Amino acid sequence: MIGGDAAGGSAASQAKKRCPELDVVMFERGRATSYSACGIPYWISGAVGNEKDLIARTPEQHRQAGIDVRLRTEVTGIDLDRRTVRWRDSEDGDEGDEPFDELVYATGSVPMRPPVPGIDAGGVHGVQVLDDGVALRAALDGDVRRVVVVGGGYIGLEIAEACRVRGLDVTVVDMSPTPVGTFDRDVGELIADAVRREGIELVLSDAVEAVDVGADGRARGVVTASGRELPADLVVLGLGVRPDVRLARDAGIPLGGSGGIAVDARMRTEVEGIWAAGDCVESRHRLSGQRVVVALGTHANKQGRVAGINIGGGYATFPGVIGTAITKVCNLEVARTGLSTEEAEQAGYAFVTAAVDSTTKAGYFPGASPIRVKMIAERRSGRLLGAQIVGREDSAKRIDALAICIWNEMTVDEVLSLDLSYAPPFSPVWDPVLIAARKAFQAVEDDIRELVTD
Amino acid sequence: MIGGDAAGGSAASQAKKRCPELDVVMFERGRATSYSACGIPYWISGAVGNEKDLIARTPEQHRQAGIDVRLRTEVTGIDLDRRTVRWRDSEDGDEGDEPFDELVYATGSVPMRPPVPGIDAGGVHGVQVLDDGVALRAALDGDVRRVVVVGGGYIGLEIAEACRVRGLDVTVVDMSPTPVGTFDRDVGELIADAVRREGIELVLSDAVEAVDVGADGRARGVVTASGRELPADLVVLGLGVRPDVRLARDAGIPLGGSGGIAVDARMRTEVEGIWAAGDCVESRHRLSGQRVVVALGTHANKQGRVAGINIGGGYATFPGVIGTAITKVCNLEVARTGLSTEEAEQAGYAFVTAAVDSTTKAGYFPGASPIRVKMIAERRSGRLLGAQIVGREDSAKRIDALAICIWNEMTVDEVLSLDLSYAPPFSPVWDPVLIAARKAFQAVEDDIRELVTD
C-alpha cells in the first residue's frame, strides 16, 4: 500500500482479513493513519475537541490486524520492472527498496495552489492533511484577527466558518458568481445569504492574483484580479484538491482523461498487479458517462474496500458515482446529487427544472423548518437527472432518497408515487421530495403539451 | 365524492382542476375537510396549539376551487342502478338523492372496538376523527388523573405519550409481547424501554376483557384477560382502524380478500364509474404480492390524486405500497419499510438478518446520537426485503433511502455501493445504512458459504 488513509487503510484491512497469509506493508508519509480529513474544519472551530477524535483507525490498530505500518515513510519511486517501491524514512533519512507482488496506489490528493506570486510565503496555510490542520490551529491560536480564505467551495466555506466561530474577521474570495459553484446559481444565492448573515465577507467573481508579502516574509493580505486589496494576518487555501499522481506518472501507470489514475470497476490500473483507490483515481459518473475525479472519503473507503477484497481473492466492484455531496454552511444545510443544470447541459441532456418550498415536518408541527427541493428532469422521458436541497435542520440528508432514485434511473412520475415515511414529526403528508417530484412531473407534462401544441 | 378528507378532498381537487366543467359534489359527514388525523395526538399533547392548524384545506378553500361541499351530510346509501346516492343532513335532518355519473368512495376507516362488555360506556374515547379529538381533549381538561390506553400500536402510543405529557398516569394494554407489533421483537424491546422510561406503564401480552363501568354509567377502569384490574378515569381506544365499507357492501361494490374495497391501479372498483381511494381500499403490497389495507394519510392523498386525475380525463396509477411507516415514541424515533421478519416468513421468503449500531453524525461530531439499522435480505439473491431503524433524533427519516432501495428491488450488495451523502455533521464516512448493508451482505455470503460447505 502506498498511503495509509481512507483508501489505503481500507484496502489493507480487507486484503489481510480475506487472506491472512498476505504480507501487507503500508507506507504512510504522515504520522497518522485512517483519519477524517473532512473533520479538520470542525476541529479548528472547536466543535470537535480533540485531534485524536479524527482518527478512525490508529497505526496500532492496523498493526494488531497484522499490517506492517511504516509511518513518516514516503515512497519516492515505483519500479514496475523490478516490482519494488523505493522508500525514504523522513525522520532518520533511511532509504530502501520494498518488493511487491501487488501494489495499491492510494496517495490521495494534493491541495490546489494558485500559481501566483507570494503563494509560498509564511502565513499561507493549506488544510489538506492532519499536519496542516495542526499548523493552522497553532497559527490561529496566535495573534490573528483577519483571515482571507481563497476558494468558496465546500472546504473553503467550512474553514471560513470555523475561523468565524473563533471570532475572526473572515473574507472568502471565489471566482464563481456564487459560492460552491457545483450548485445551481439560485441555490448558490441562498448559500451566499447564509454566509453573509454569519458575518463572513464574500468577494465573488474575482480571483487572487497575488499574495501580498511583508518585509518579514509573511503574508499580509491578498490582491485580487479586480484590484481589490484584502489585508489579512493569515491566508488559508481552500481551493480543493487534485489527484496526487506524480509517482504514477513517473512510473508509467496510465492516467485517465480527467487527470486521475485510470482504473476499472475492480480498481485495477492498466498495469497488471497495480491497483489504485481513493482521491487519486478517476471514477465513472453514472449519468454523464464521463470519468471524473471526486475527492471524498466515502468513495475512498468504498474503493479501498473493493481493491482489498479483490487482492484478497474475492470479487467486488465499485459501480461509479453520481455526484452526491452535502455540507453545512453556517445555519444552512445544502446537498446535491446527480447533475446540476450546468452539468446536465454539458452532458447533452435536454431537461426541465422545478423547485418547491416546503417544511421538514408537518407545517403545523413545532420545529418545522423551511426546506427547498429542486429537481432536474429529462425532457420527454421525465428521468430524474439531478436534485439539490437547501434548508435548515433536518433538510439536507434527505438528498440520499433522491440519490437512490437517480441511481435507479427513476422518472419523476415514479418518484412521486414512492412509499416514503410519513408522520407529523417527520414530514408533511406530501413529503417535500414528493412535492418536488409532482412539480417536476408537471413541468415534463407541460413541456410535452407545448410540443404537441406547437 | 363520499368523504371530504385526504382521499376525497384530493380526488375532488384533481378532477375539478383537470376538467373544470365537471360538477363535483363532496359529501362530508363531519364538520371539517382535509384535516390531519395523524396530528390529533400532538394537538392533544399541546405540541400543536390550535385545532385549526390541523386543517390542510378548509371547506371554503374547496368551494373557491368550485367544489360543492356538503358538510355534516352523511351518505346513507348508494343506488348503483339509478346512479344516485342518498344523503341526510345531520343538522336539520333533511334527506335527498344526488345523481352521479362517476362516484368516488372515500369513506376512510372506523376505529376498531373490542367487543367487550362496557365498551360503549361514558368515558371511553376513540381518536379517529377530529370530533373525537375535540371530545377527548375536553374530557382530559376535566378531573382526570389515570388513563388506560387500549392498544400499543402507533396511535395508541402517540395518545399515551400525549396524555403523559399532560402529566397523567398512563397505562397501555396490548396483546403483543412488545409494543407496535409490526416491528420485529428486538426493535419492539427498545420501543418498550423508551416508553417505560417516560413513566408510561406497559401491560403486554394481555387483552382488555371488559370495561369496568361504575354506577354512574361511566368507565372506571378495565379488566384484562389475565385478571388484572386497571383503574382509570378515562379509557382511550387506540387499536387502529378498519376500512369503512358498510355502504359499499350494502350497494354491492365488491370487497377484496383483506376486507378493503377492491380497486385496480387506477383506483377503479369493479363497478363501472365507481372509484375508491384512501383508508377504505386495499392496496397491492409490492413485496408480498398480497392485497393489504394500510390506513395512512400519505397513501390516501396519493390515491385520491390518482382517482381525480383519471376522472378528469388523465391517466395515473397507484403502484402499491411496501409498508413504510415512521413514528416518534417519546425520545425514540422508529421506522420500518418492506417486510418484517414475521411478514417475510408469511410471504414465503427465506432470509437472513443483520443489525448494526452506529451514529447519526461522525462519531466525533457534537450531537452524534445512536442509531440502529436492521436489514432483512433474501437468502442467495441478497435482495433487500425489509429494514427497521431505531434511534434518537435524525435517525428514522433515513428509512426513506431504504424504502427506495426496496422499491427498486436492489440487493444489499448494490445498496452498500450507493453514492450517499457524507459530511461529518450528517453521517459517519460509512453511512449507517451502508454499514448495515455491508453486514447484511456478509450474512448473505456466509449463508451461501455454509451451503457450499455442507
Termini Cα distance of chain B: 61
Chain centre to alpha carbon of residue B13: 23
Q: Are strands A219-224 and A84-89 parallel, antiparallel or unpaired?
A: unpaired
Instruction: Examine the domain organization and report whether A87 and A202 are in the same domain.
Output: no
Task: Reduce the DSSP state of residue A375 to 3 states and report it.
Answer: strand
How does DSSP assign A300-320, residue by residue? Answer: HHHHHHHHHHHHTT-------
* Residue of chain B whose alpha carbon sits nearest to that of A300: B429
Cell 461530531 belongs to B365
Instruction: Examine the domain organization and report whether B221 and B246 are in the same domain.
Output: no
B19 is catalytic: no
Report the distance separating Cα B413 and Cα B190, nearest Å.
Answer: 28
Report the distance separating Cα B1 and Cα B13, nearest Å.
Answer: 11
Has residue B111 got a pLDDT over 90? no
User: CA B359, B360, B364 angle in degrees (round to 5)?
Assistant: 60
Identify all chain A residues contacting B42, using CB atoms and an 8 Å cutoff. 365, 424-425
Answer yes or no: do B326 and A56 touch at CB < 8 A.
Answer: no
Report the distance separating Cα B389 and Cα B375, nearest Å.
Answer: 9
Residues facing residue B201 across a β-bridge: B171
Answer yes or no: do B419 and A324 touch at CB < 8 A.
Answer: yes
| Contact criterion met (CB below 8 Å) for B172 and B158 | no
Torsion of CA A257, A261, A262, A268, to 10 degrees: 180
- Interface-testing mutation among B296, B404, B411, B414, with chain A (most A C-beta atoms within 10 A): B404
* Residue of chain A whose alpha carbon sits nearest to that of B154: A423
A35-60 average pLDDT score: 85
Report pLDDT digits (tens) over A324-370: 999 999 889 999 999 999 999 999 999 999 999 999 999 888 889 99
- Better-scored residue on pLDDT, B168 or A48: B168
List Cα–Cα distances, A454 to A382, A447, A448, B31, in angstroms.
20, 11, 10, 47
Question: A359 CB contacts (<8 Å, ≥6 apart)?
Answer: A368, A369, A370, A371, A428, A432
State ipTM.
Answer: 0.94
Instruction: Examine the domain organization and report whether B160 and B251 are in the same domain.
Output: no
Answer yes or no: do B365 and A403 touch at CB < 8 A.
Answer: no
Cell triple for residue A387? 436534485
Check CB contact of B296 with chain A, cutoff 8 Å: yes
| Contact criterion met (CB below 8 Å) for B260 and B237 | no
Question: Which residues 105-144 of chain A have a CB within 8 Å of chain B?
Answer: none
Containing structural domain, residue A393: 331-453
Has residue B290 got a pLDDT over 80? yes
Question: B142 CB contacts (<8 Å, ≥6 apart)?
Answer: none
Of B319, B335, B427, nearest to A417 by CB-CB distance is B319
User: CA A298, A387, B417 angle in degrees (round to 5)?
Assistant: 30
Report the distance separating Cα A61 and Cα A21, nearest Å.
Answer: 18
* B99 lies in some domain: yes
Report pLDDT digits (tens) over A289-309: 999 999 999 999 999 999 999
Instruction: Examine the domain organization and report whether A79 and A164 are in the same domain.
Output: no
Write down the pLDDT at residue A454. 63
- Chain B nearest-CA distance from A435, in A, is 11
Report the distance separating Cα A252 and Cα A255, nearest Å.
Answer: 9
* Residue of chain B whose alpha carbon sits nearest to that of A415: B404
Chain centre to alpha carbon of residue B115: 22
Which burial class, exposed, middle or buried, applies to A101 when counting CB atoms under 10 A from its CB (0-12, 13-18, 19+)? exposed
Check CB contact of B400 with chain A, cutoff 8 Å: yes
Report the distance separating Cα A19 and Cα A26, nearest Å.
Answer: 16
Cell triple for residue B372? 440502529
Domain's final residue, options B186, B210, B239: B239
Identify all chain A residues contacting B425, using CB atoms and an 8 Å cutoff. 42, 328
* A326 lies in some domain: no
Report the distance separating Cα A60 and Cα A58, nearest Å.
Answer: 5
Domain's final residue, options B205, B239, B273: B239
A 10 A CB-CB count for B44 gives: 23
Report the distance separating Cα A395 and Cα A329, nearest Å.
Answer: 13
Strands laid side by side in the A351-359 sheet? A325-329, A332-338, A384-391, A370-378, A351-359
* B320 lies in some domain: no
Count of CA atoms in the C-beta half-sphere (13 A) of B165 = 18
A184-200 average pLDDT score: 95
Report the distance separating Cα A389 and Cα A184, nearest Å.
Answer: 11
* B325 lies in some domain: no
Report pLDDT digits (tens) over A96-135: 999 999 999 999 998 888 899 999 999 999 888 888 888 9
Instruction: Examine the domain organization and report whether A268 and A343 are in the same domain.
Output: no
* B102 lies in some domain: yes
Answer yes or no: do B410 and A408 touch at CB < 8 A.
Answer: yes
| Contact criterion met (CB below 8 Å) for A385 and A350 | no
Alpha-helical regions (H) of B243-348: 246-251, 297-311, 341-346
Question: A393 CB contacts (<8 Å, ≥6 apart)?
Answer: A333, A360, A369
Confidence of residue B368 (pLDDT cuts 50, 70, 90): very high
Instruction: Examine the domain organization and report whether B103 and B246 are in the same domain.
Output: yes
- The total of structural domains in chain B comes to 3
* A140 lies in some domain: yes
Identify all chain B residues contacting A394, using CB atoms and an 8 Å cutoff. 394, 397
| pTM for this entry | 0.94
Cell triple for residue A361? 415536518
Instruction: Examine the domain organization and report whether B356 and B439 are in the same domain.
Output: yes
Catalytic residue among B19, B38, B280, B405: B38
Report pLDDT digits (tens) over B31-41: 887 778 888 88
Answer yes or no: do B418 and A407 touch at CB < 8 A.
Answer: yes
Identify all chain A residues contacting B433, using CB atoms and an 8 Å cutoff. 400
Beta strands in B379-445 (DSSP E): 384-391
b/e A179-196 (16+ beta carbons within 10 angstroms → b): bbbbbbeebbebbbebbe
Answer yes or no: do A297 and B36 touch at CB < 8 A.
Answer: no
Has residue A141 got a pLDDT over 70? yes
* B316 lies in some domain: no
Report the distance separating Cα B420 and Cα B401, nearest Å.
Answer: 9
Q: What percentage of chain A reaches a pLDDT higher than 90?
A: 83
Identify all chain B residues contacting A324, using CB atoms and an 8 Å cutoff. 419-421
Give the residue among A177, A114, A181, A182 at the shortest CA–CA distance from A148.
A114
Instruction: Examine the domain organization and report whether B72 and B216 are in the same domain.
Output: no
* B326 lies in some domain: no
A 10 A CB-CB count for B347 gives: 15
Give the residue among A296, A258, A290 at the shortest CA–CA distance from A277.
A296
Answer yes or no: do B48 and A423 touch at CB < 8 A.
Answer: no
Report the distance separating Cα B325 and Cα B303, nearest Å.
Answer: 17
Report the distance separating Cα B58 and Cα B68, nearest Å.
Answer: 13
Has residue A406 got a pLDDT over 90? yes
Give the residue among B32, B234, B62 at the shortest CA–CA distance from B129.
B32
Of A328, A366, A421, nearest to B47 by CB-CB distance is A366
Which of the residues of A are catalytic? 38
Total residue length of chain B: 454
User: CA A149, A283, A175 angle in degrees (round to 5)?
Assistant: 25
Instruction: Examine the domain organization and report whether A258 and A227 are in the same domain.
Output: no
Instruction: Examine the domain organization and report whether B373 and B398 are in the same domain.
Output: yes
Give the residue among A443, A432, A445 at the shortest CA–CA distance from A402.
A432
Question: B283 CB contacts (<8 Å, ≥6 apart)?
Answer: B260, B291, B292, B293, B294, B299, B303, B318, B320, B321
Torsion of CA B429, B434, B436, B438, to 10 degrees: -100
Instruction: Examine the domain organization and report whether A53 and A88 are in the same domain.
Output: yes
- Interface-testing mutation among A392, A419, A435, with chain B (most B C-beta atoms within 10 A): A419
Identify all chain A residues contacting B426, using CB atoms and an 8 Å cutoff. 326, 328, 333, 396-397
Look up the CATH number of the domain holding residue A353.
Answer: 3.30.390.30
* Residue of chain B whose alpha carbon sits nearest to that of A322: B419
Instruction: Examine the domain organization and report whether A300 and A401 are in the same domain.
Output: no
DSSP A51: G
Has residue B48 got a pLDDT over 90? no
Which burial class, exposed, middle or buried, applies to B259 when counting CB atoms under 10 A from its CB (0-12, 13-18, 19+)? middle
Question: Which residues 170-199 of chain B have a CB within 8 Å of chain A?
Answer: none
**Mean pLDDT estimate for chain A:** 94
| Contact criterion met (CB below 8 Å) for A35 and A63 | no
Report pLDDT digits (tens) over A157-181: 999 999 999 999 999 999 999 999 9
Give the residue among A328, A326, A356, A353 at the shortest CA–CA distance from A340.
A353
Domain's final residue, options B239, B267, B298: B239
Cell triple for residue B303? 390515491
Confidence of residue B57 (pLDDT cuts 50, 70, 90): confident
Has residue B454 got a pLDDT over 70? no
Cell triple for residue A357? 418550498
Phi, psi of A437 (to 5 degrees): -65, -40
- Chain A nearest-CA distance from B320, in A, is 8
How does DSSP assign A173-188, residue by residue? Answer: E-SSSSSSTTS-HHHH
Of A42, A400, A430, nearest to B424 by CB-CB distance is A42
**Mean pLDDT estimate for chain B:** 94
Cell 450474512 belongs to B443
Look up the CATH number of the domain holding residue B159.
Answer: 3.50.50.60
Report pLDDT digits (tens) over B201-259: 999 999 999 999 999 999 999 999 999 999 999 999 998 889 999 999 999 999 999 99
Torsion of CA B401, B407, B412, B417, to 10 degrees: -50
Write down the pLDDT at residue A259. 96
How does DSSP assign B261-284, residue by residue? Answer: BP--TT-B-SSTTEEE-STTB-EE
Q: Which amino acid is present at B46?
A: G
* Residue of chain A whose alpha carbon sits nearest to that of B445: A314
Cell triple for residue A178? 456564487
- Tell me the Cα Rg of chain B: 24
Answer yes or no: do B301 and A429 touch at CB < 8 A.
Answer: yes
Beta strands in A38-151 (DSSP E): 68-70, 73-79, 84-89, 95-99, 103-105, 109-111, 124-125, 146-150
Report pLDDT digits (tens) over A175-187: 999 999 999 999 9
